[in-house]
Structure 1
């Protein structure tokens, strides 16, 4: 990270205190500009940022039901936080294997406080809604005065696939959340962007959820660094992910999902049991110092397992053929373990 001397360029800024300071202000203004929104607010966690956004939308609409995908992070990975801690209730729509579309959203008949779209949808192999489909969902929401929220945890990463400026993508929604510790490589944190009055309304929820940190300086300066260093490279990461997917699809016993990645990440399916694959991967990490994949998941197909592939600077340093050969070796070892 950082410049030629290894230092982060914003380290000399005064520390922020309780969300106020030059570095955090610079980060919020930078993100608001990139996303084409009037205001942005730093949060330490996306879980808190998105609950705050949806609560603010619910307060304005006087409704409590939020439509979202059943495999979205809010619905699947937060221990039911939003329904345990707030009056909001979730209306899951769409199939497990892909994002929902406008027609499936239109089948929801109950009054909605908001619609949340995770873009891309990690648990469905990092697939995103295409530009036309996003426009249709946005149009449906606006015709009915239903706020649209974008869960953009990986919005930076999917922008090259959509082929539109970040501000155009964010402009389809009323609010958008973006993360700093995934493709941007920051230590953590995120911002929520949207209209000034709504973003101001989320400040109180940030405090209520314990998110008004005494200082977030390490998170803020690494986020600023990530925007400068990694955001301009998202196109290169996407192109490499597409080329890597082609190389891996050529290995017998491997499948890539989706066939053409929508961002810098995709799902890799292995014709080997999850427990055996995990054992081989951990042995590879310990013996050779190569971290090929993290979580290994079972699939509905008996004997097959899945991992995630994410392309960043470290991946760019690997030859595509070498990665394919390594995966073939790991697969063979897992099959015979």
Structure 2
């Protein structure tokens, strides 16, 4: 007798997935290198045309003097906060309770750099100007994440962002941007990357999330800041002998997808409306502000997984690979729109969500 199919197995066996750009297999690398001249010289320990040209390109996009390519955003952001803390002579920074540094990095900032974070705002809402004004002690740096991933990718209104930036400059507080998904929020703000980054002293962006590269990140800021960051990059072991297997795909997919974020954003709003049209389903935000949002089911994970497996078997559409239990009768998952969604026939989407609504009405 066959073992019951898991949700992950059902998702991967489905002929259609709603989210992302497709499987992250070796084809991603092969496609990126398909048109690259094999005689291009590799970078060596952070130097060379292949890395320096891309860093200059990204500095220009972000409107900063200089940029450095890192193998990971975890490394880049810890280094940024270390530099600002050292310069200010303060081992205290502030960020959201669900900041990546706080919940996903095994306390790297505290253990490696002995920096103490102040957690601003309640975990279920965004940091506001009032929160920043109410900090009861001196801080070297404030980190803002745009969008705030763990609460559905919510964003402050741009006027609030400008007000926080102005206040930090008045008070001598360094403002750092966790812009892992910066390019994904530009359509909502109606701003360029450089316009948003002008509000911040330093900026990190991911090159594998919405962009879809293999791995890697950019840390950008003033020339003296990035030069100091290169020293810390070496100390962290981030100067691999060559990073071109990450840089060239990052450049390829950045050029391919940065201009598509507006399409992904509109498609995310369309998809969220389909989810919200089903009983026992809601999205956070209700109307997405980027290509990413969270889907919440008013049913337990144990009840919801068989529903999604059945849906996948009957329609060939995979909605979710895994669910997160969020309460006795509640679960959720994160969804980001990429290249795949635009190729799904509208009648297939209609059929899928009509069946989802019907199945949810039966449980």
In structure 1, runs of 5+ residues without a counterpart are: none
The alignment partner of 1:307 has SS state of: strand
**Number of the residue aligned with 2:251:** 224
1:291: how far off? 3.8
- From 125, 131, 137, the equivalent of 1:104 is 131
Matched, 1:45 2:68: no
> Cα gap change, 1:335/1:250 in structure 2, threshold over 3 Å: closer, same or farther?
closer
- From 219, 233, 239, the equivalent of 1:212 is 239
Asked if the contact 2:32/2:249 (under 8 Å) is kept, the reply is no
Asked if the contact 1:295/1:308 (under 8 Å) is kept, the reply is no
Structure 1 segments, 4+ long, off by >4 Å, are 1-6, 8-12, 279-290, 330-337
Structure 1 residues 248-327: aligned runs within 5 Å: 248-278=275-305, 281=308, 290-300=317-327, 302-320=328-346, 322-323=348-349, 325-327=351-353
Number of aligned residue pairs: 336
1:9: how far off? 4.2
Structure 1 residues 102-141: aligned runs within 5 Å: 102-141=129-168
Query: How high is the TM-score relative to the length of structure 1?
Result: 0.92
1:237: how far off? 0.5
Asked if the contact 1:13/1:22 (under 8 Å) is kept, the reply is no
**Number of the residue aligned with 2:61:** 34
In 1, Cα distance between equivalents of 2:357 and 2:92: 45
Asked if the contact 1:44/1:188 (under 8 Å) is kept, the reply is yes
Query: How high is the TM-score relative to the length of structure 2?
Result: 0.86
1:234: how far off? 0.4
The alignment partner of 1:90 has SS state of: strand
In structure 2, runs of 5+ residues without a counterpart are: 1-27
In 2, Cα distance between equivalents of 1:155 and 1:176: 9
- From 149, 172, 187, the equivalent of 2:199 is 172
The alignment partner of 2:231 has SS state of: helix
> Cα gap change, 1:144/1:217 in structure 2, threshold over 3 Å: closer, same or farther?
same
Asked if the contact 1:149/1:174 (under 8 Å) is kept, the reply is yes
In 2, Cα distance between equivalents of 1:275 and 1:67: 37
1:328: how far off? 5.5
The alignment partner of 1:42 has SS state of: strand
Asked if the contact 1:117/1:151 (under 8 Å) is kept, the reply is yes
Asked if the contact 2:315/2:352 (under 8 Å) is kept, the reply is no
1:13: how far off? 2.4
Structure 1 residues 132-211: aligned runs within 5 Å: 132-211=159-238
> Cα gap change, 1:174/1:321 in structure 2, threshold over 3 Å: closer, same or farther?
farther
